[in-house]
């Protein structure tokens, strides 16, 4: 997947907006970031991950703990080529779902999340 296809996929997820923060391109739901890309530095990006998957993910080449983000909850991926399309889409959707799960129940209901 190239970076433009990656962007299109992120924007295809319901409620996703994009914006710039700290000179990085961010994909957000309800103004909460779930993907942050260092566009000036290639296609390196950080994404929220399930803490249970952290060790397995960071054991892979091209994936490490994300700098300046919650320890064991965010990973930095060197490029969109590190993962295959299916894995990449699953991680993006999972990141969005984890961020959405922290929002108020009323907001979650807006996106079809039920308790």
Q: What is the pLDDT of residues 69-78, one digit of tens each?
A: 778 889 999 9
Nearest to 96 by CA among 51, 31, 39, 33: 33
C-alpha 93/C-alpha 97 separation (Å) is 6
85's tokens: 């399309």
pLDDT for 94: 95
- In the predicted structure, residue 115 carries a pLDDT above the cut 60: no
Q: 69-114, pLDDT tens digit by residue? A: 778 889 999 988 898 999 999 999 999 999 999 999 998 888 877 6
Q: How confident is the model at residue 54 (pLDDT cuts 50, 70, 90)?
A: very high
Domains and CATH numbers, the chain: 3-110 (3.90.1150.30)
How many Cβ atoms from other residues are within 10 Å of residue 24's Cβ? 18
Residues 6+ apart with CB under 8 A from 30: 15, 100, 103, 107
- In the predicted structure, residue 68 carries a pLDDT above the cut 60: yes
């Amino acid at each position: 997947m190239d970076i433009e296809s990656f962007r299109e996929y992120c924007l295809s997820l319901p409620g996703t907006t994009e914006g710039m923060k700290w000179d990085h391109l961010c994909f957000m739901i309800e103004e909460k970031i779930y993907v942050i890309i260092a566009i000036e530095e290639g296609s390196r990006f950080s994404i929220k991950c399930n803490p249970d998957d952290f060790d397995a993910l960071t054991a892979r080449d091209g994936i490490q703990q994300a700098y300046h983000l919650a320890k064991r909850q965010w990973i930095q991926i060197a490029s969109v080529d590190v993962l295959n399309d299916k894995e990449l889409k699953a991680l993006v959707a999972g990141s969005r779902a984890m961020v959405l799960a922290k929002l108020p129940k009323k907001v979650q209901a807006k996106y079809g999340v039920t308790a």
